């Protein structure tokens, strides 16, 4: 089970005190990324949008960082897809941890949202686009038949699930069939998978006060949740496909 892309994002109350610190924050980010394995670092402070953008490579993985007066996020596309065990050990988390500690100090460790989103694509001999699509249509035949009557044959579909746990953790999952020509909808380059199952999983906390937010600890929670859901979904879908063959 491989992760091809991740986004970590925090939203916090609008903080105008950061306006005068954008230059300092940008220099702080550049100082961290001025050594290997970081390379090809570029970026600037945009005074019109009151934001920082920084992008480059971490080894061979490409990343982009954005910070505004009320949000921070990083986007990483892995040159070679990583497994779940590497999610909480990726070097970008050390960078993020240092930046978030400075943001937390400025906003009294109060966050509107803390989220980690990943895109996983599963390859399997049984996981053909048409067979997964048919399974999803079978499970949602009432709606699919109605759409087919209105617009013709359904070309693609996915299932979105949203849920929350008692500890305040929420999750939003999009699961559906994947085919190679769709890479441009999700990634900046072709991941060279012909057919499979794509899972877009977003795990987040909302409206929390979290002193000393530990990004690695949060990523381990994400890793464990992803691992359980993805492996469970794989097993269930494989069982359904095998029962029909």
Tokens of 234: 């794989």
The mean pLDDT value for 190-210 works out to 92
Percent of the chain with pLDDT over 90: 54
Name beta bridge partners: 209.
110
**Cα 133 to Cα 12: distance, rounded to the nearest angstrom:** 39
CB 99 within 8 A of CB 67: yes
What share of the chain in percent tops pLDDT 70? 99
Residue-level pLDDT at 143 = 87
Q: For position 203, what pLDDT does the model report?
A: 92
What's the confidence (pLDDT) of residue 215? 82
CB 201 within 8 A of CB 229: yes
Query: How much is the mean pLDDT over the chain?
Result: 90
CB atoms within 10 A of CB 201: 22
Q: In this predicted structure, what is the pLDDT of residue 245? A: 59
* 10-44 pLDDT, tens digit each: 999 999 999 999 999 999 999 999 998 999 999 99
Query: How do residues 74-122 score in pLDDT, each as one tens digit?
Result: 999 999 898 877 888 888 888 898 999 899 888 888 999 999 999 999 9
Residues 212-241: tens digit of each pLDDT: 888 888 888 888 888 888 888 878 888 887
Assigned token pair, 102: 């400075």
Residue 235 and residue 227: Cα distance in Å, rounded? 12
Cβ neighbours for 128, distance < 8 A, ≥ 6 positions apart: 195
Rounded to two decimals, the pTM is 0.91
């Amino acid at each position: 089970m491989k992760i091809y892309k991740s986004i970590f994002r925090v939203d916090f109350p609008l903080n105008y005190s950061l306006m005068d610190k954008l230059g300092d924050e940008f220099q702080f980010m550049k100082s961290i990324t001025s050594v290997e394995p970081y390379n090809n670092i570029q970026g600037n402070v945009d005074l019109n949008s009151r934001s920082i953008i920084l992008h480059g490579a971490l080894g061979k993985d490409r990343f982009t960082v954005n910070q505004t007066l009320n949000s921070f996020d990083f986007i990483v596309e892995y040159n070679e897809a990583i497994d779940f065990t590497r999610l909480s050990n990726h070097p970008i988390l050390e960078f993020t941890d240092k930046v978030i500690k400075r943001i937390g100090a400025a906003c009294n460790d109060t966050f509107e949202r803390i989220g980690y989103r990943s895109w996983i694509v599963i390859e399997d001999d049984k996981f053909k686009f048409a067979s997964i699509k048919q399974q999803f249509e079978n499970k949602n035949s009432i709606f699919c038949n109605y759409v087919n009557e209105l617009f013709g044959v359904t070309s693609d579909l996915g299932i979105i699930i949203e849920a929350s746990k008692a500890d305040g953790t929420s999750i939003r999952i999009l699961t559906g069939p994947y085919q190679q020509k769709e890479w441009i909808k999700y990634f900046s380059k072709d991941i060279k998978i012909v057919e499979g199952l794509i899972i877009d999983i977003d795990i987040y906390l909302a409206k929390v006060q979290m002193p000393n937010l530990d990004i690695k600890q949060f990523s381990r929670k994400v890793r464990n949740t992803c691992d359980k859901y993805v492996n469970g979904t794989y097993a269930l879908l494989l069982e359904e496909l095998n029962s029909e063959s």
